[in-house]
């Protein structure tokens, strides 16, 4: 067979495939391309290997219990029982530029969807014109004198594209999926904003408490150094003891500027999250003691997690849009039919516009079938299919990461409680040791340097406990974030994403 014949046969097979696709579309009476269905939830009943923990050990006077299947509160930050924190979150939700940008992006996508619905209606245009013309018969080979006249025209045209194979419907489906992506993105922005505020408030309170405890420790260490120098000068202690205490003092003094820098950065971050300039805003005074650790922690079932985490919903909507784009690319291979018609009235004066000899109209149908595009349309369809496969794989990756995050957070809370319990015991032991040393000092059995040393150990144990308490609070926040933040639950207007009510009114 010649090359030309082989090419003709190949083209014939391609046209046959296209024709078959078109025939199937007509026979099925629906849009070409895959019909998207939400992926099923993973068939597991727990997150962590060997089962999820039921509760943590008691630490710092509290144990946390996990309740599977319990619904999260939309305003979950209120469970920390801090009115200043609630007020700060409320202020940030009203003024944070990042959240406002996400809300504007959602509105933009919703308006794009509303605009897209216009494809289901005919396009109707009206036209009116008034011109003064000089007509030259020489253009037509006539030597008659030219004439000057006025021309008034009123016309209307109508066109409508028949969506036989659903390409337009698939395109609108993709736009609708993009609205879902933006809605999930707004929810993720909302959740991230609230989590960042709570975490920063906890960190700021911990930094301030550490600074206070460190300053108390430094005061004691200064006294220790002074006593050691007196003992060295009196010949009762070696100079190495002085150097050792001075080294410890210098090391602890170096931590204070670092903590103060972190405290200042926390203030600046809170101002930014609240949509304010740091110079015009100050953080509310909040201590760790002003926060309440939630004792009951709801844990969504794995089957529910994929329907409530914003990042999973965004990945699913992205896959949905990619699926619809396969239908758009498939329909581009098939015939397109457009119906059109127009009517016009013409006259040399406004009063003659209704004259019968000035009326004109036309109507008809046009069919366009791509025949040869150099493989462009065919490979665009293959590109759309590959994009859909990529989106499905990325969806699975997001789901895996989400389940791992929940498992990590559950284990972290379990280990946080155990670590805090150990720190509580270390603090209790240091406090008891300090009490006994003070008793011995009063009885003349220990020196004042021993008292200062025991007091320094106590303050160091206190600092370690403060850090463990802050980590436990922040991992509690991480669990609410990992489970999706409870945006779907009933909540006050200030606690719900701004796009929820608006989105419900979209076409």
Kind and range of the H or E run holding 81? none
Report pLDDT for 418: 95
* CATH for 315: 1.20.1600.10
> Does residue 345 sit within a domain?
no
Contacts of 115 (CB under 8 A, 6+ apart): none
DSSP string, 359-427: EEEEEEEEEE-----TTHHHHHHHHHHHHHHHHHHHHHHHHHHHHHHHHHHHHHHHHHHHHHHHHHHHH
Report pLDDT for 338: 92
Report pLDDT for 490: 54
CA distance 489 to 308: 10
Report pLDDT for 403: 96
Measured torsion, CA atoms of residues 223, 228, 231, 235, in degrees rounded to the nearest 10: -170
Structure token digits, residue 451? 């008292």
> Does residue 357 sit within a domain?
no
Q: Give me the tens of pLDDT residue by residue for the chain, a chain 507 residues long.
A: 443 334 334 444 444 444 444 444 443 446 898 999 999 999 999 999 889 999 999 998 899 999 999 989 999 999 999 999 999 999 999 999 999 999 999 999 999 999 999 988 999 999 999 999 888 888 778 888 888 888 899 999 999 999 989 999 999 999 999 999 999 999 999 999 999 999 999 999 999 999 999 998 888 888 888 888 888 888 877 888 788 888 888 988 998 999 999 999 999 999 999 999 999 999 888 899 899 999 999 999 999 999 999 999 999 999 999 999 999 999 999 999 999 999 999 988 888 888 888 899 999 999 999 998 899 999 999 999 999 999 999 999 999 999 999 999 999 999 999 999 999 999 999 999 989 988 887 777 877 778 888 888 988 999 999 999 999 999 999 999 999 998 877 544 444 444 444 433 333
Report pLDDT for 299: 95
Per the structure, how many domains does the chain have? 1
> Does residue 378 sit within a domain?
yes
Structure token digits, residue 484? 């999706």
> Does residue 139 sit within a domain?
no
Q: Decide: 135 and 149 in contact? Cβ < 8 Å.
A: yes
Q: Decide: 204 and 269 in contact? Cβ < 8 Å.
A: no
> Does residue 344 sit within a domain?
no
Give the Cα-Cα-Cα angle 486, 488, 489 (nearest 5 degrees). 70
CA distance 374 to 442: 98
Contacts of 331 (CB under 8 A, 6+ apart): 25, 31, 32, 33, 165, 166, 167, 168, 170
Q: Which residue carries 């530029």 as its tokens? A: 97
User: Taking the alpha carbons of 85, 90, 92, 93 in that order, is the dihedral positive or negative?
Assistant: positive
> Quick one: which of 304, 477, 471 has its CA closest to 402?
304
> Does residue 224 sit within a domain?
yes
Domain that holds residue 36: 9-121+165-334+373-504
CA distance 322 to 173: 10
Query: Looking at the DSSP assignment, which residues form a beta bridge with residue 129?
Result: 153
Report pLDDT for 449: 77
Q: Decide: 274 and 88 in contact? Cβ < 8 Å.
A: yes
Query: Looking at the DSSP assignment, which residues form a beta bridge with residue 359?
Result: 345
CA distance 57 to 159: 72
Helices (H), 78-166: 83-95, 97-116
CA distance 109 to 107: 5
Structure token digits, residue 36? 């998207």
Q: Which residue carries 């945006």 as its tokens? A: 487
> Does residue 360 sit within a domain?
no
Report pLDDT for 507: 34
Q: Which residue carries 């600046």 as its tokens? A: 268
Q: Decide: 266 and 204 in contact? Cβ < 8 Å.
A: yes
Q: Mark 441-455 as b/e (b = at least 16 C-beta within 10 Å).
A: beeeebeebebbbbb
Report pLDDT for 491: 45
Kind and range of the H or E run holding 196? helix 167-233
> Quick one: which of 360, 373, 319, 302 has its CA closest to 153?
360
pTM: 0.83
Strands (E) across 257-313 are located at 296-299
Q: Which residue carries 């605009």 as its tokens? A: 115
Structure token digits, residue 437? 């040393």
Q: Decide: 180 and 313 in contact? Cβ < 8 Å.
A: yes
> Does residue 149 sit within a domain?
no
């Amino acid at each position: 067979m010649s090359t030309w014949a082989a090419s003709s046969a190949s083209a014939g097979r391609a046209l046959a495939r296209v024709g078959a696709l078109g025939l199937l579309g007509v026979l099925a009476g629906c849009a070409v391309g895959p019909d998207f269905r939400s992926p099923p939830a993973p068939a597991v009943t727990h997150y962590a290997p060997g089962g999820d923990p039921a509760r943590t050990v008691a630490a710092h006077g509290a144990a946390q219990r996990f309740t599977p299947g319990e619904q999260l509160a939309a305003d979950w930050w209120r469970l920390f029982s801090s009115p200043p924190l609630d007020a700060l979150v409320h202020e940030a939700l009203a003024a944070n530029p990042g959240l406002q940008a996400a809300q504007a992006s959602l509105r933009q996508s919703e308006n794009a969807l509303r605009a897209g619905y216009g494809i289901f209606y005919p396009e109707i245009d009206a036209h009116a014109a008034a011109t003064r013309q000089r007509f030259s018969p020489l253009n037509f080979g006539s030597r008659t004198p030219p004439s000057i006249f006025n021309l008034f025209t009123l016309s209307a045209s109508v066109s409508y594209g028949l969506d036989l194979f659903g390409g337009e419907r698939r395109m609108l489906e993709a736009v609708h999926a993009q609205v879902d992506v933006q809605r999930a993105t707004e929810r993720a922005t909302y959740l991230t904003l609230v989590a960042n505020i709570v975490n920063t408030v906890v960190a700021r309170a911990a930094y301030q408490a550490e600074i206070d405890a460190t300053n108390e420790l430094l005061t004691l260490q200064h006294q220790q150094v002074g006593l050691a120098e007196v003992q060295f000068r009196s010949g009762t202690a070696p100079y190495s003891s002085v150097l050792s205490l001075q080294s410890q003092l210098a090391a602890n003094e170096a931590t204070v500027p670092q903590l103060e820098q972190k405290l200042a950065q926390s203030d600046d971050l809170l101002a930014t999250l609240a949509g304010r300039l740091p110079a015009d805003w100050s953080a509310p005074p909040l201590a760790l003691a002003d926060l309440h650790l939630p004792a009951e922690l709801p844990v969504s079932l794995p089957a529910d997690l994929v329907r409530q985490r914003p990042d999973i919903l965004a990945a699913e909507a992205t896959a949905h849009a990619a699926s619809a784009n396969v239908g758009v690319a498939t329909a581009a291979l098939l015939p397109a039919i457009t119906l059109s018609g127009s009517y016009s009235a013409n006259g040399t004066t406004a009063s003659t516009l209704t004259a019968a000899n000035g009326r004109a109209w036309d109507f008809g149908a046009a069919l366009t079938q791509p025949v040869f595009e150099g493989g462009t349309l065919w490979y665009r369809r293959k590109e759309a299919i590959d994009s859909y496969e990529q989106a499905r794989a990325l969806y699975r990756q997001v789901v895996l990461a989400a389940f791992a995050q929940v498992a990590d957070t559950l284990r972290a809370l379990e280990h946080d409680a155990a670590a805090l319990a150990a720190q509580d015991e270390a603090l209790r032991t240091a406090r008891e040791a300090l009490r006994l040393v003070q008793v011995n000092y009063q009885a003349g059995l220990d020196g004042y340097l021993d008292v200062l040393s025991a007091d320094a150990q106590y303050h160091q144990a206190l600092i370690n406990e403060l850090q463990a308490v802050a980590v436990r609070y922040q991992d509690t926040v991480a669990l609410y974030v990992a489970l999706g933040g409870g945006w779907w639950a009933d909540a006050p207007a200030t606690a719900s994403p701004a796009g929820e009510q608006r989105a419900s009114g979209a076409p």
